């Protein structure tokens, strides 16, 4: 039900901001007129308050943020082209077939052949895409002043990632290829199922075994703020006895928090940039949002959406593989879908599918993020803290996109949208003592 509303919300957004205002006004009017308490909305101009927050950013800061985020649109296309070029190189030169032949000479065990191929494939594709990834993940991040790492540290993280990919990727590919060979006509369905189980497994172990490889996670030191955060958690039925924080400043300047894990490993973590760069009001607002993800079971709902996407993805790959193999199979020396030498083709087809699913994936995520925003405003009651945080996030997210742009490219609501929502919430709560005490007039001083 909530998702239906979220999708409707997105549809409304596509009609344009002015209509949103009209629609929202229409929504709230009956409530306002029905209540007997005088509502002091008249003293508070939502649009002006939103503009005041937006004005905290200099034109230069806005231009930078827009350039960084809009550049990201092109990266989606370039990432696809790089993936296709690597696949073409491996197949067209028959290097992939030779890697398979090498694995076959090494062992007669089928699963071990898959493993040997997978190790070669993961190392080789990592090396081939390294220059591009250095540009995208290191050079570009530095150009916009978002990174705290030197090249050595960055490469160190990449090396850790490679080791994890070699372990998990090899296990996953051995299982998936065993399934493809067993179920020659229905492997797309079984393959999707196996991938889903594997992803769930990885998501469950990630906070305990993977995240600590890159960052140090600690219990947030005792403080009045922590007590307030845990109080907010208890009030919302979250069985948390601790809040984690981690040294994200090792990698970047971005403020962030997250909910991760499943089945008992679920936890809320905030990063040290948020702790060091934000006010208590902002921190409470952000954690209210994260608690929303927890209470609304977004991790599990996300898994359901992901299941649908991955079944469709495997179906597309199954269809595409059959066609591509008929034309080029002999030239590339492939022996059917169960032949691990066809992995670059599977990967290329999956990249194409995910490229076209970009707006779908973003809309699924953005809808859940909007839900968490609404939950967080109600739970934390910090509309100004939330607006301040939205301003800070402009460092890496464009503040005021057009409606179609937001629909296609945004996996979170835009900064303008979030500030505007927070100000609407504030306008509707001005008669509450805590909100009135926080001040009606204006946002805290510009930073």
Three-point CA angle 261, 267, 270, nearest 5°: 115
For residue 217, the surrounding DSSP H or E stretch is strand 217-219
Q: How far is the CB of 234 from Zn ion (least distance, A)?
A: 21
Burial 392-402 (b: 16+ CB within 10 A, else e): bbbbbbbbbbe
Q: How far is the CB of 295 from Zn ion (least distance, A)?
A: 12
Q: How far is the CB of 211 from Zn ion (least distance, A)?
A: 17
Q: How far is the CB of 343 from Zn ion (least distance, A)?
A: 34
Q: Which is nearer to Zn ion, 418 or 426 (CB)?
A: 418
- Please give the residues from 75 up to 114 whose contact with Zn ion meets the rule CB under 5 A: none
Q: Which is nearer to Zn ion, 313 or 415 (CB)?
A: 415
Q: How far is the CB of 370 from Zn ion (least distance, A)?
A: 9
Taking residues 144 to 163 in sequence order and writing x for each that binds Zn ion by CB under 5 A, - otherwise, the string is --------------------
Q: Which is nearer to Zn ion, 369 or 395 (CB)?
A: 369
Q: Which is nearer to Zn ion, 353 or 375 (CB)?
A: 375
Q: Which is nearer to Zn ion, 334 or 370 (CB)?
A: 370
Report residue 446: phi and psi, to 5°: -60, 145
Taking residues 371 to 390 in sequence order and writing x for each that binds Zn ion by CB under 5 A, - otherwise, the string is -x------------------
Q: Which is nearer to Zn ion, 233 or 372 (CB)?
A: 372
Q: How far is the CB of 287 from Zn ion (least distance, A)?
A: 11
Q: Which is nearer to Zn ion, 339 or 373 (CB)?
A: 373
What are residue 218's DSSP bridge partners? 245
Taking residues 46 to 65 in sequence order and writing x for each that binds Zn ion by CB under 5 A, - otherwise, the string is --------------------
d(CA 114, CA 96): 12
Helices 343-356 and 59-92, axial angle in degrees (round to 10):
150
For residue 219, the surrounding DSSP H or E stretch is strand 217-219
Q: How big is the site for Zn ion, counted in residues (CB under 5 A)?
A: 2
What is the DSSP track for 232-300? HHHHTT---S--EEE-GGGTB----EEEE-STT--EEEEEHHHHHHS-HHHHHHHHHHHHHHHHTTHHH
Taking residues 335 to 374 in sequence order and writing x for each that binds Zn ion by CB under 5 A, - otherwise, the string is ----------------------------------x--x--
Closest CA to 403 of 392, 391, 389, 413: 413
Closest CA to 444 of 356, 385, 398: 385
Q: How far is the CB of 372 from Zn ion (least distance, A)?
A: 5
| Contacts to Zn ion by CB under 5 A | 369, 372
């Amino acid at each position: 039900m909530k998702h239906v509303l979220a999708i409707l919300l997105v549809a409304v957004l596509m009609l344009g901001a002015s209509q949103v205002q009209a629609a929202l006004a229409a929504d709230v009017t009956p409530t306002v007129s029905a209540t007997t308490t005088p509502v002091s909305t008249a003293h508070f101009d939502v649009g002006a308050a939103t503009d005041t927050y937006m004005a905290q950013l200099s034109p230069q800061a806005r231009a930078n943020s827009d350039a960084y985020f809009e550049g990201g649109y092109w990266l989606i296309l370039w990432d696809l082209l790089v993936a296709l070029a690597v696949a073409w190189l491996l197949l067209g030169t028959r290097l992939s077939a030779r890697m398979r032949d090498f694995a076959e000479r090494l062992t007669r065990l089928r699963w071990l052949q898959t493993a040997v191929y997978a190790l070669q494939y993961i190392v080789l594709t990592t090396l081939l895409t390294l220059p591009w990834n250095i540009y995208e993940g290191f050079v570009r991040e530095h150009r916009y002043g978002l990174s705290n790492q030197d090249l050595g540290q960055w490469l160190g993280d990449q090396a850790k990632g490679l080791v994890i990919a070699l372990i998990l990727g090899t296990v996953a590919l051995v299982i998936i290829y065993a399934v493809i060979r067993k179920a020659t006509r229905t492997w797309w369905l079984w393959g999707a199922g196996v991938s889903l189980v594997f992803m769930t497994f990885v998501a469950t172990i990630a906070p305990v075994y993977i995240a600590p490889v890159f960052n140090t996670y600690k219990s947030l030191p005792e403080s009045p703020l922590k007590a307030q955060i845990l109080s907010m958690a208890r009030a919302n039925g979250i069985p948390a006895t601790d809040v984690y924080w981690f040294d994200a400043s090792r990698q970047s300047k971005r403020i962030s928090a997250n909910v991760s894990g499943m089945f008992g490993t679920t936890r809320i973590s905030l990063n040290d940039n948020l702790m060091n760069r934000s006010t208590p009001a902002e921190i409470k607002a952000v954690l209210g949002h994260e608690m929303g993800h927890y209470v609304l079971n977004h991790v599990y709902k996300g898994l359901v959406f992901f299941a649908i996407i991955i079944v469709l993805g495997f179906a597309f790959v199954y269809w595409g593989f059959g066609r591509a193999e008929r034309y080029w199979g002999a030239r590339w020396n492939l022996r059917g879908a169960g032949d691990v030498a066809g992995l670059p083709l599977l990967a290329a087809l999956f990249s194409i599918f995910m490229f076209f699913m970009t707006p779908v994936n973003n809309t699924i995520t953005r809808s859940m993020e909007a839900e968490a925003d609404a939950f967080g405003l109600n739970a934390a009651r910090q509309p100004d803290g939330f607006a301040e945080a939205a301003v800070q996030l402009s460092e890496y997210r464009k503040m005021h996109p057009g409606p179609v742009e937001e629909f296609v490219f945004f996996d979170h609501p835009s900064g303008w949208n979030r500030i505007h929502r927070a100000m609407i919430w504030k306008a509707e709560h001005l008669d509450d003592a805590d909100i009135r005490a926080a001040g009606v007039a204006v946002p805290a001083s510009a930073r």
